[in-house]
Amino acid sequence: MLDVPVVLLEERALNNGLVLAMATLNNERALNSLSLDMINLLLPAMQRWASDERVVAVFLQGAGEKAFCAGGDVRRICTGVRENGIDDPYAQQFFTEEYKLDFLIHSFPKPVIVWGQGIVMGGGIGLMCGASHRVVTETSRLAMPEITIGLYPDVGGSHFLSRLPGRLGLFLGMTGVSLNAGDALFAGFADYAVASDRRQAVLASLTSLEWSADTMEHKNQVSMVLQAEQCPDLPVSELQPRIAQINERAAADDLPTLHAALTAPAADDVWMDRTARTLAKGSPTSAALILRQWQRGRDMSLVDVFREELTLSTQCARHPDFIEGVRALLVDKDNAPAWQPATVAEVTEDWIAGHYVEPWQGEHPLSNLV
């Protein structure tokens, strides 16, 4: 039986010798979770398409209907560290290549359409957030629930969460709340909502489009196609009516006060109470890192964000909570992580500062990111 590629690459012929490039994350069984093998196929393809004058746009999707991309290959990082110790190289390799791909999408010179159907989490958010045309459907569920596995919202989260209005980005990072399509539009994680059964119609419209000879018009042309398919029947946003309450609960700038406010029970609001319970069960170290990344990220360039996040993410794999959180949730599945430190009160400045120490010798692995 032949191996099926984990990323399907296609160049669909258009008029005048042009092509629409397509990439499909092809591991439906794992909800198209992003692996290093996937990145090693997708990154060079995207680099090639960026400079190929025949390519007018890129369409990025996930196989099947359940998920665009349900996160990154954190299970592989966890098992590598458990088997080989903290010097196992996979974490640094994975995050380095992932962030190169994410940054390329942010800076891509042509339209990138991401079809964010179904589950979009973690690494999927990283692929989606930098795209020029981000599409959700009535089935979309977006989240960055790294608080539950001892990580933090990486893949550029320090940049885009810190730039959301008010305290919304801080709230999203701390609570890992799941967003529906209405929430995604309200929070600025998506640009268009299209019915899930219109994917092939959108592709047909893009294929039959009379693409302008002026490449500067291509983004507008894609926008017009997606605008014509806008779906009015969306789940109602849970965020929008609660934004004042969210800003109030997330108002504090010090971790103990912020954590206490966000974990306070909300008996009269099931949705808000769920966010409180998620944070209460999450990693105290992650909570401290999330607050710091939100505070620092607003004054950092995107390049500097990815460089700092590579340090943080690699260090998280060398500290106990990330490995323990993935073990408890995804490997052993006992849902009983033993966080170290166990409480917010025990998280020290020196402990958090240790996560910002570059763990490699010599040149930064993302020193050439421009």
> Active-site positions?
72, 123, 146, 154
Residue 61's Cα: distance from chain center in Å?
A: 14
